[in-house]
């Protein structure tokens, strides 16, 4: 999200398996809300994907919320570009 905001984005979207309720809860905590379903999205199982959006990600309150939440998630994010 930080990269998206730095590039001028005001909204971010993602897809998550409808069965992955744990990930959905995490994404909700980061400001994402369900917006639709992509039927048969995952080729390996034919499972549907829940489309989620986070709007106003550039808003200072949202940035502060995400920063605080991210600080509580263990581990390190590594970006690799090929």
Q: Which residues are catalytic?
A: 15, 27
Cα 31 to Cα 44, 55, 59, 62, 75, distances in angstroms: 28, 8, 12, 8, 21
Q: How far apart are CA 52 and CA 24, in angstroms?
A: 9
Q: Which segments of 1-82 are extended strands (E)? A: 11-17, 33-38, 49-55
């Amino acid at each position: 999200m930080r990269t998206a905001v730095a590039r001028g984005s005001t909204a971010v979207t993602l897809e998550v398996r409808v069965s992955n309720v744990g990930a959905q809860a995490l994404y909700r905590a980061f400001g994402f809300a369900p917006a639709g379903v992509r039927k048969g999205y995952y080729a390996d199982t034919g499972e549907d994907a829940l489309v989620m959006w986070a709007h106003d990600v550039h808003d200072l309150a949202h940035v502060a919320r995400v920063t605080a939440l991210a600080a509580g998630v263990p581990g390190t994010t590594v970006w690799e570009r090929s």
